[in-house]
Amino acid sequence: MQQSENNSIENIRHSLAHILASAVLKKFPKAKLGIGPAIDTGFYYDFELPRQLSQDELPEIEKLMREEIRQHLEFKGEEITAAGAKKLFKSQPFKLDLIKEFAKDKKKLTSYQNGEFIDLCRGGHVENTSEINPNAFKLTKIAGAYWRGNEKNPQLTRIYGAAFKTKEELENYLDQTKKAEESDHRVLAEQLGYFMMDEDIGKGLPLWLPKGFMVRKILEDYMFDLERNLGYQHVLTPHIAKEAIYKKSGHLAHYKEDMFPPLKLDKENYYLKPMNCPHHHVIYKRGKKSYRELPLRIAEFGTVYRHERSGVLSGLIRARYFTQNDAHIYVDASHLEKELVDILALHKKVYQELEIEDYWYRLSLPDFSKKEKFGDIKNKEMWDAGENALRAALAKNKLEFVEGVGEASFYGPKIDIQIKDNFGREDTIATIQVDFYSAAKFDLSYIDADGKEKPVIVIHRAILGSFDRFFAFLLEKTAGKLPFWLAPVQIMILTINERVTAYAKHVEDTLREMSIRFETDYRNETIGKKIRDAEMQKVPYIFVIGEKEADALKVSVRERGKGDIGQKSLEEFFRMAK
């Protein structure tokens, strides 16, 4: 194999994109070519094809690619003029589009040729296809992609490939993605019947099914009890509000693109709420507040609506409506730090109890050089005070954190709780924000001990973020194996034959008395099949009841992940499950 400094993995991946295009042109001589870059784990290329391509056809294209690789073709680069390029790509409208743009920017054009295939390209290839391991790449999937990412342009077919230097690396990667795909919350939710989507209801609008709703209700009840004990007061506010309040809040100026279009009613515009803050501020303003009433904690499981673009929708992670575990805490400066300490402590407690470990804190600060986002900041001392309070609260809870300069919101510094999902993507799951701006915008004040009216500080916090996203995250982290207290079905009762049904009904009664969530399978099927079906549902425990168990007034217990753990009386079982 010829070695050169050109055989970096990026160059290999990029070269494979050319080879893919060349192979596709052999199969579909009339295909129109989009672009084909290298990406993190491989490459892709966009095509306009004369017909829909199916996943089953990818091996055939792979085979054409391997044949080309084995011909040891050279990659030959050449500088060309815009006029020359236009002639060369006269039957490729998307390339002509690019040439026009490059010519406008007076960029140099280069073309690269491998075999008979010529592409417009900046370069970054292997010198010869002999440098590519023909067994270390695989075409993985087909997706739709708009030309230049714009919904108004034609939709092209994107073919993705994975590529590495060795076969082992490729196999490792394919293994990992397979595992991650199996624990994708959309796949699990489908398999376990947690939520569904329906075209007639609309994109990004999940319908929660009984089992999914049960898990969510348990999470909501759990947070409700915790928050009530900590002095939060829960409210319920409408899903819509008039235009004027979103003018006041700045949402229509800064956030309109992410909101649903207005509804017209009695000649006025109403908007679906994208956030709960304005509604809570209105509740705060009901009657003058004294410093003695602070901190005032208003909480809501508040459903919000956001116009996510259809291309980014992804199950419950990116949906067009979701319910936040929201609260706004109104404090004076003297209570700010203490309140933040308490919020962080609550956070830690909840995450501990939910067995979430791989998360970290990011202190998100302003970047004053970014004028468009932070240019309006006049009162730097207030920002510093907020930052100091957040730092002190992190220190008091002995929490380590990273700093994210430029990650603050436009109204104040914040702490973001960051996680990594199964695909290794970093995401913010919850936020604690200190807000000095809403007081002025909404005229939020209190009467201090000295009798003077002062602006109040607002803390925005959402411990679980949104219940929807959090649920998705939990499902993926546990691969659907929710802990006993959260499982929608905690126990599945299976009978071996109908002679034991009466005893099984007695077991049901006991579980019902103890508020255990259970389901039964008394079908006329083999016990092996019933066990397999129950295991597919990932229930924590399965009770198997045959005549031996009925005679002994016991059940045979199977534990998720462990299998048979022996016969137990219900008392013994509950002592153990505790």
Task: Report the alpha-carbon angle 80-99-156, nearest 5.
Answer: 130
Residue 425 catalytic? Answer: no
Catalytic residue among 125, 273, 277, 342: 277
Q: How many binding residues for Zn ion (CB under 5 A)? A: 3
Residue, CB closest to Zn ion: 121
278 or 488: whose CB is closer to Zn ion?
A: 278
SS (H, E, C) 155-187: EEEEEEEEECCCHHHHHHHHHHHHHHHHCCHHH
Residue 326 catalytic? Answer: yes
* Least CB distance to Zn ion at residue 552 (A): 57
Distances (CA, A) of 68 to 25, 117, 122, 130, 204: 13, 11, 21, 10, 42
Quick one: tokens of 86? 């236009």
* Least CB distance to Zn ion at residue 327 (A): 8
Catalytic residue among 414, 530, 554, 558: 414
* Least CB distance to Zn ion at residue 462 (A): 8
Q: Binding segment for Zn ion among 275-283, 331-339, 360-368, 468-476 (CB under 5 A)?
A: 275-283
Feature table: binding site for Zn(2+): 277, 328, 460
11 or 183: whose CB is closer to Zn ion?
A: 11
Residue 277 catalytic? Answer: yes
Q: Binding segment for Zn ion among 145-153, 273-281, 369-377, 497-505 (CB under 5 A)?
A: 273-281
DSSP H helices in 3-89: 9-27, 58-70, 82-88
Binding of Zn ion by 121 (CB under 5 A): yes
Q: Rule CB under 5 A: choose which of 20, 277, 365, 390 binds Zn ion.
A: 277
Binding of Zn ion by 189 (CB under 5 A): no
277 or 415: whose CB is closer to Zn ion?
A: 277
Closest among 215, 93, 258 to 482, alpha carbons compared: 215
Q: How far apart are CA 46 and CA 161, in angstroms?
A: 12
Binding of Zn ion by 99 (CB under 5 A): no
What is the per-residue burial (b if ≥16 Cβ within 10 Å, else e) of 15-30? bbbbbbbbbbbbebee
Asked if 315 and 189 touch (Cβ cutoff 8 Å), the reply is yes
Catalytic residue among 185, 216, 460, 461: 460
* Least CB distance to Zn ion at residue 417 (A): 16
Q: Binding segment for Zn ion among 116-124, 227-235, 258-266, 311-319 (CB under 5 A)?
A: 116-124
Q: How far apart are CA 218 and CA 187, in angstroms?
A: 22
Asked if 156 and 21 touch (Cβ cutoff 8 Å), the reply is no
Angle, helices 9-27/58-70, rounded to nearest 10 degrees: 120
Give the footprint of Zn ion on residues 411-470 (CB under 5 A): 460
Binding of Zn ion by 542 (CB under 5 A): no
132 or 545: whose CB is closer to Zn ion?
A: 132
Looking at this protein, which amino acid is placed at residue 549? E
Catalytic residue among 251, 281, 328, 558: 328
Asked if 558 and 564 touch (Cβ cutoff 8 Å), the reply is yes
Residue 460 catalytic? Answer: yes
208 or 442: whose CB is closer to Zn ion?
A: 442
Residue 184 catalytic? Answer: no
* Least CB distance to Zn ion at residue 166 (A): 23
Binding of Zn ion by 32 (CB under 5 A): no
* Least CB distance to Zn ion at residue 48 (A): 19
* Least CB distance to Zn ion at residue 150 (A): 23
Is the torsion defined by CA of 481, 486, 488, 489 positive or negative?
Answer: positive
Cis status, amide bond into 274, omega within 30 of 0: no
Binding of Zn ion by 163 (CB under 5 A): no
Q: How far apart are CA 458 and CA 287, in angstroms?
A: 17
Q: Binding segment for Zn ion among 40-48, 274-282, 384-392, 541-549 (CB under 5 A)?
A: 274-282
Query: Using the 8-state DSSP alphabet, how is residue 126 labeled?
Result: -
Task: Report the alpha-carbon angle 54-56-61, nearest 5.
Answer: 90
189 or 272: whose CB is closer to Zn ion?
A: 272
Closest among 459, 458, 454 to 289, alpha carbons compared: 454
Query: Using the 8-state DSSP alphabet, how is residue 409 labeled?
Result: B
Find where tokens 């030959």 sit.
76
277 or 394: whose CB is closer to Zn ion?
A: 277
Feature table: binding site: 277, 328, 460
Return the active site residues.
277, 306, 324, 326, 328, 414, 460
Chain contacts with Zn ion (rule: CB under 5 A): 121, 277, 460
